Amino acid sequence: MSVVMPYGDTTGDGMVQLSFTLPMPHSKVAEGSALQLAHKMGMDPALVVHAKPMGPDFTFFVVYGRVNHVVDPSTVVVVERDYPLLTPKEVNAAVKRSLRRRLTVVGACIGTDAHTVGIDAILNIKGFAGEKGLEYYRELKVVNLGAQVSVPQLVDRARAEKADAVLVSQVVTQRDAHLLNTREMSAAFRESYPSDRRPLLIVGGPRFDENMAVELGVDRVFGRGTTPGEVASFIAHRLAGAKVAS
Amino acid sequence: MARAPKGKLDLDPATVRHARSLARKAGRPIVTLAKKHTTVAVERATLRLAGLSGADDEGSPWVNRLMDTVRADVGLEHGVALPVWDALLRHEAEDLTTLAQKAAAGSVTFRLPEGKDADRARAASRRQVARGLKTVDKRRVERDRLIRRHGDAPRQPWIYLIVATGDIYEDIPQAQQAAREGADVIAVIRSTGQSLLDFVPEGATREGYAGTYATQENFRLMRAALDQSSKELGRYVRLTNYASGLCMPEIAALAGLERLDMMLNDSMYGILFRDINPIRTFVDQRFSRQVHARAGIIINTGEDNYLTTADAIEAAHTVTTSQLLNEYFAKEAGLEDWQLGLGHAFEIDPAVPDSFRLELAHALLAREVFPHAPLKWMPPTRHMTGDVFKGNLLDGFFNLAGALTGQGILLVGMMTEAVVTPWISDRDIALQNVRYVMEAAGRLHEDFHPAPDGVINRRARQVLGESIELLDTIVDDGLLDAIASGTFGLMKRPADAGRGLEGVAAKSSAYYNPATEILDAQEVL
């Protein structure tokens, strides 16, 4: 089978469900507007199965309907995970075995970006999506520099801490700030380290394209929804030789 | 003849008393330590109570500019009151704001007054700070009056809902809508990272990330909007914010001045989850709790957070232990039972067999150990995934556990937890979930009597026993060492590390702070 489309209860029926809110009072016009939106989104036929007023100014809709779009999976480009997903215990064991010391991770939000939510989700023990952050890993030493760290500060701190890996989070994307900052960062690290000694450079943020690692001069780009476990596993894979489980 | 069982768990009152006395023993040295120190944040809060507000062109608050200059000239250890009011009495400036401006410009030098000059500075600072505390008192009376006029929340648990758009002017209509849909308490989540700012931002703010900055003006705007809603709905709608992080005493003061009704305020959260220095935290904690006590604010403690990092079954007894400690620190600071929203959470892995029975055991234990506290019941977060349908079911069970165990404050769980900051429709669906459970099973607790030797009873007694063992170790090792060795939430936080340590000083023999004087004595003004 080369192409796919959504499956409701029959192959090829293309059925999807959709819910959304319109900022208008509930009325026949509101329901008609919901239907028109569904049509414009490619749902045809579409059926408004639920419409509920939420206060005087908003209406919530659930729409079921058929889409006619098809997807050819052979044309889909993704960054496949090329490293095994490890538990914190396995990461700790791999680091202990291969480095015989703790692995140092330095993290920061660079530039004027004050949004530490991403870096904190990955580093703080509280973690994200039910996974504990890197601080929880006994064999990882985490230095979280927080927000608004300049690139020279980051390089200095990475050198002082003898960082094995550097994690940079970028949330703000105004005028492509995230891309410019990342390029500046990777260039600074290339300049101040011999190429075989440079720490692993990892950048993450909700608006990054995971395919851009080479272009940005970093070892890995992580996009939206990345969990601490994925980052820790990647670091262990690259620096502590954790092998892909066959 | 067998004695009549007490409560639903028939806990041995002597065991519960023993647990409390251990918490007292563990907490007392911390209180002594807190009383011997002050912090930049406590001193800035004192300036705020004296009426100093506003910020310079760069957004640096005047309380910070003034505090920093005083500290550079005479140090922090004597407190801010003596040098500041001495300067005012020496006619260096006509009021606090002008003094702060001059201090920032470097045109005032502060000194530590002695003798008669010190007496005069003490009296003058006391008069001015007392005015701020009187405003706090007035706000409390005003709240009582509004509750009488509009009526209180119709039932318990109070339904607690979060708004967090980052823009106070977006938050307001969302909060009013949430109140209309049945929320009794609105919490405005703070912008990520605010807890680590060593200043309180100024003015109405429209940019925040995953939350809205806590500022005095934002407090005022939201309280005014909810006063409108209270009038419209015929019930007083409460407002919550966060007295945590490096500015906790100042935020507490602002909350008192702007009639916030509840504040997140945990004795150890900042230490454990924000890596704030333990001494800084305990000093700031005590002051902020004293302000909350005076303001009639209900505090919400943060035990739920432990279960987001540690396992909810293995670490259940750390929750009970922390609740006992939070209760001790709260009472010591003058808070009463009705002000103790002790926290706990529905965080057991739903894949564990009997998970719901265990949740009931833990929730009921909290209920029966603290029978007069309005417990704060927190929804699942750790085991919420992008599967919003399963999340909605889990939230339903969370609501049911809340109804069955008589929780006082129920934070409404969102099926989109871990996905997005709640959309307006997420809140509507979540409230529908709560309403259904409360209407269908709100009084089911009347029929709910766990078997005396059943899983629930045994589990509750086991957790209480484990928390007593833990308290024993804490009493032996000292609470600071227990925190340093990772007892709570698996985090190791030594007393000589962490953020904000540079803002702590041991009080000198000349130390004076009119706010702590009045708060310590619970003086009627």
- For chain B, give the number of residues: 525
pLDDT of residue A173: 66
pLDDT of residue B311: 81
Q: Per-domain residue ranges for chain A? A: 1-76, 88-239
pLDDT of residue B259: 98
B201 lies in a domain? yes
What one-character DSSP code corresponds to residue B76? S
Q: Look at A21 and B424 and tell me if their CB atoms are within 8 Å.
A: yes
Contact list in B for residue A134 (CB cut-off 8 A) is none
Around Cβ A82, how many Cβ atoms within 10 Å? Answer: 8
Which residues of B are catalytic, by number? 269, 304, 376
Mutant choice from B424, B426, B432 vs A, greatest count of A C-beta within 10 A:
B424
Lowest mean pLDDT among A110-114, B307-311, B344-348, B378-382: A110-114
Question: Chain B within 8 Å of A87 (Cβ-Cβ)?
Answer: no
Given a cut of 90, whether residue A234 has pLDDT beyond it is: yes
Q: Look at B418 and A146 and tell me if their CB atoms are within 8 Å.
A: no
Contact list in B for residue A116 (CB cut-off 8 A) is 192-193
pLDDT of residue B487: 79
Q: Look at A116 and B305 and tell me if their CB atoms are within 8 Å.
A: no
What share of chain A in percent tops pLDDT 70?
Answer: 93
Given a cut of 90, whether residue B386 has pLDDT beyond it is: no
Residue whose C-alpha is closest to residue B271's, from B485, B472, B468, B28 = B485
How confident is the model over B59-77, as pLDDT tens digits? 999 999 999 999 999 999 9
Domain count, chain B: 1
What lies within 8 Å, CB to CB, of B383 at 6+ separation is A130, B347, B349, B350, B394
pLDDT of residue A245: 43
CB B392 within 8 A of CB B32: no
B180 lies in a domain? yes
pTM: 0.85
pLDDT of residue B306: 81
Contact list in B for residue A57 (CB cut-off 8 A) is 177
Q: Look at A54 and B177 and tell me if their CB atoms are within 8 Å.
A: yes
CB B389 within 8 A of CB B429: no
pLDDT of residue A170: 87
How confident is the model over B243-262, as pLDDT tens digits? 999 999 999 999 999 999 99
Mutant choice from B309, B378, B388, B421 vs A, greatest count of A C-beta within 10 A:
B309
Read off the pLDDT of each residue in B484-512 and give the average, rounded to a whole number. Answer: 88
Q: Look at A147 and B193 and tell me if their CB atoms are within 8 Å.
A: yes
Mutant choice from B382, B421, B426, B493 vs A, greatest count of A C-beta within 10 A:
B382
pLDDT of residue B195: 86
CATH of domain A88-239: 3.40.50.280
pLDDT of residue B490: 66
pLDDT of residue B101: 97
pLDDT-derived band of residue A244, with 50, 70 and 90 as boundaries?
A: very low
Question: Nearest C-alpha of chain B: how many angstroms from A53?
Answer: 10
pLDDT-derived band of residue A174, with 50, 70 and 90 as boundaries?
A: low
Option in B180, B192, B305 nearest A115 (CB)? B192
Separation of alpha carbons B428 and B318, rounded Å: 34
Given a cut of 80, whether residue B418 has pLDDT beyond it is: no
Option in B181, B193, B273 nearest A55 (CB)? B181
Mean residue pLDDT of chain A comes to 90
How confident is the model over B258-297, as pLDDT tens digits? 999 999 999 998 888 778 999 999 999 999 999 999 999 9
Q: Secondary structure of B436-473 in the HEC alphabet?
A: HHHHHHCCHHHHCCCCCCCHHHHHHHHHHHHHHHHHHH
Provide the H-helix boundaries in B370-423.
388-404
Q: Look at A130 and B489 and tell me if their CB atoms are within 8 Å.
A: no
Question: Chain B within 8 Å of A19 (Cβ-Cβ)?
Answer: yes
Residue whose C-alpha is closest to residue B221's, from B231, B212, B211 = B212
Annotated active-site residue in A28, A126, A141, A243: A126
How confident is the model over B161-213, as pLDDT tens digits? 998 888 999 999 989 989 998 999 999 998 877 888 999 999 999 988 778 99
Option in A60, A114, A225 nearest B425 (CB)? A60
Separation of alpha carbons B379 and A56, rounded Å: 28
pLDDT of residue B27: 97
How confident is the model over B119-161, as pLDDT tens digits? 999 999 999 999 999 999 999 999 999 999 999 999 999 999 9
Separation of alpha carbons B457 and B398, rounded Å: 19
B403 lies in a domain? no
Based on DSSP, count helices (H) and strands (E) in chain B, helices before strands: 19, 11
Fold exhibited by the domain A1-76: Defensin A-like (3.30.30)
B311 lies in a domain? no
Option in B196, B210, B385 nearest A117 (CB)? B210
Residue whose C-alpha is closest to residue A7's, from A61, A50, A70, A62 = A70
Read off the pLDDT of each residue in A31-43 and give the average, rounded to a whole number. Answer: 97
Q: Look at A54 and B273 and tell me if their CB atoms are within 8 Å.
A: no
Mean residue pLDDT of chain B comes to 94
Given a cut of 50, whether residue B40 has pLDDT beyond it is: yes
The B-side interface with A (CB below 8 A) comprises 177, 180-181, 192-193, 196, 209-210, 273, 305, 308-309, 382-386, 418, 423-425, 428, 489-491
Given a cut of 90, whether residue A243 has pLDDT beyond it is: no
Contact list in B for residue A170 (CB cut-off 8 A) is none
Contact list in B for residue A174 (CB cut-off 8 A) is none
Lowest mean pLDDT among A11-15, A193-197, B403-407: A193-197
Given a cut of 70, whether residue B372 has pLDDT beyond it is: yes
What share of chain B in percent tops pLDDT 90?
Answer: 83
Q: Look at A126 and B308 and tell me if their CB atoms are within 8 Å.
A: yes
At which residue do the structure tokens 């620190």 appear?
B329
Mutant choice from B191, B209, B273 vs A, greatest count of A C-beta within 10 A:
B209
Q: Look at B273 and A114 and tell me if their CB atoms are within 8 Å.
A: no
Q: B191 is in which domain, residue-wise?
A: 155-242
Given a cut of 50, whether residue B112 has pLDDT beyond it is: yes
Separation of alpha carbons B188 and B240, rounded Å: 7
Q: Look at A146 and B196 and tell me if their CB atoms are within 8 Å.
A: yes
Q: Considering just the CA atoms, what is the radius of gyration of chain B in Å?
A: 23
Q: Look at A129 and B418 and tell me if their CB atoms are within 8 Å.
A: yes
Helix (H) or strand (E) holding B150: helix B115-150
Pick left, alpha or beta for residue A46 (phi over 0 → left; psi -120 to 50 → alpha; otherwise beta): beta
Read off the pLDDT of each residue in B21-27 and give the average, rounded to a whole number. Answer: 97
Question: Nearest C-alpha of chain A: how many angstroms from B429?
Answer: 10
pLDDT-derived band of residue B54, with 50, 70 and 90 as boundaries?
A: very high
Residue B354 token pair: 């009997």
Q: Considering just the CA atoms, what is the radius of gyration of chain A in Å?
A: 23
ipTM (interface pTM): 0.79
- Report CA A245 to chain centroid distance, whole Å: 23
Contact list in B for residue A128 (CB cut-off 8 A) is 418
Given a cut of 80, whether residue A218 has pLDDT beyond it is: yes
- Report CA B10 to chain centroid distance, whole Å: 31
Half-sphere exposure of A156 (CA within 13 A, CB side): 6
Given a cut of 80, whether residue A1 has pLDDT beyond it is: no
B175 lies in a domain? yes
Read off the pLDDT of each residue in B451-473 and give the average, rounded to a whole number. Answer: 96
Given a cut of 50, whether residue B369 has pLDDT beyond it is: yes
pLDDT of residue A113: 64
B264 lies in a domain? no
